[in-house]
Amino acid sequence: MAKHRLQTTIAGSLPKPSWLAEPLKLWSPWKLEGEALTEGQRDAVRLVLRDQEQAGIDIVSDGEQTRQHFVTTFIEHLDGVDFQRREVIRIRDRYDADVPVVAGPVNRPRPVYVEYARFLRAETTRAIKFTLPGPMTMVDTLYDDHYRSREKLAWEFAGILNDEARELEAAGVDVVQFDEPAFNVFFDEVRDWGVRALERAAEGLACKTAVHICYGYGIEANTAWKKTLGSEWRQYEETFPLLQASIIDQVSLECHNSRVPMELIGLLDGKDVLAGAIDVTTDHIETPQEVAATIREALKYVTPDHLYPCTNCGMVPLAREVAKGKLRALAAGAAMVRAELT
């Protein structure tokens, strides 16, 4: 049984090859177009897949090689959102951004990522994870000129996400993860409708479902906000009890080099915990011993069968060699602790 414990995975993105998009940069535009772009994205998926396999990662993903942004790339494929119209809104209650407008009823005319999931499934025998934006975070990335209700729009998005997730599952995806960084900000809405909308997105799925909640990376507004949070980051205390009572199977959080008290994991009793053992804000490559130390600390609050060593967040802004080193460290650190459990 021990060999099935402490399975490693990643939270989201991996760096893109320099021939596909400018490296070391969030939301970098594509360098290719048309069929060349599709071919380039598939080649990039093959590369990051091999990187994960060679490092020893157990549950692999496409590293989000087919998307520029974890939210808007999905929204670009929906009807009802006008990308030509723009409005400035406050995102995560942290920074202003020029965003598209919801101008009519939103719907998904066709699957968004399902073909990519089939491709990933055909390229590996390992368990695969696919990420989707969560309903609340989608709402917080748009100006709504149609529903004029964050809750109503979230509920529409939840149904769309559920359709996509069911098709991802049918394509062979083992874990569908919803990214909800907005859960660390809008606590009243999380309680009122956020978790219910998330559950609607995950409704009826037989595969594992996960939610990733982080503190944000890559832009100055996120860095500045985190400096205001004090010596302990206890935002998870607001959401974890709600998620513990939900149908979501797994919760992904940041731990290593974070100010999140590790004991908050105890609020997720019975859930799988994807504990971030890799810091994505630095080029420093963790040693396996550092990773192992984070895992041992997490094991004080969750059983080995429910702990999945993971990254704190996506790694797209990092250099590819740095990311590969971090993947190797993640797998090696988990292997060290796994051996101690036998």
pLDDT of residue 221 exceeding 70, the answer is no
Tokens, residue 290: 């550092």
Which residues pair with residue 211 across a beta bridge? Answer: 178, 251
Q: Quickly list H helices, 171-258.
A: 187-189, 195-202, 220-226, 236-244
Helix (H, G, I), strand (E, B) or coil at 234: coil
**pLDDT of amino acid 260:** 85
Name residues whose C-beta falls within 8 Å of residue 127's C-beta, 6 or more positions apart in sequence.
7, 58, 59, 60, 174, 175
Q: State the number of CA atoms in the 13 A half-sphere of 150 facing the CB.
A: 16
Q: What is the mean pLDDT of the chain?
A: 94
pLDDT (0 to 100) of residue 1: 35
pLDDT band at 216 (very low <50, low <70, confident <90, very high): low
Max intra-chain CA distance, the chain: 59
What's the rounded Cα separation, in Å, for the pair 74 and 113? 8
Question: The pTM is what?
Answer: 0.95
Q: Are 251 and 268 in contact (CB under 8 A)?
A: yes
Q: What is the mean pLDDT of residues 154-172?
A: 98
Residue 103, both tokens:
């101008």
237-281 residue pLDDT tens: 999 999 999 999 999 999 998 888 999 999 999 999 999 999 999
* Contact in structure between 176 and 132 (CB atoms under 8 Å): yes
Q: Which residue in 143, 239, 141 sits closest to 190, CA to CA?
A: 239
Q: How far apart are CA 62 and CA 127, in angstroms?
A: 12
pLDDT at 222: 57
Domains with residue ranges and CATH for the chain: 2-67+114-134+149-341 (3.20.20.210)
Residues 5-19: tens digit of each pLDDT: 999 999 999 999 999
Distance from chain centroid for Cα 12: 4
Average pLDDT over residues 132-139: 97
Name the residue among 333, 249, 342, 325 with its Cα closest to residue 297: 333
CA distances (Å), origin 59, targets 23, 43, 87, 92: 25, 19, 39, 30
Compute the average pLDDT of residues 290-316. Answer: 97
- The DSSP output letter for 69 is S
Residue 2 predicted with pLDDT over 70: no
The answer to whether the CB of 206 falls within 8 A of the CB of 160 is: no
163: pLDDT strictly greater than 70: yes
How far apart are the C-alpha atoms of 93 and 112, rounded to whole Å? 28
User: Do 207 and 271 form a contact (C-beta atoms < 8 A)?
Assistant: no
Give the residues across from 133 on adjacent strands.
179
pLDDT tens profile 43-73: 999 999 999 999 999 999 999 999 999 999 9
140 or 217, greater pLDDT: 140
Please tell me the predicted confidence (pLDDT) of residue 95.
Answer: 74
Q: What pLDDT shows up at residue 91?
A: 78
Contact partners, residue 324, CB within 8 Å, separation at least 6: 51, 55
d(CA 245, CA 247): 7
pLDDT of 3 over the 60 cut: no
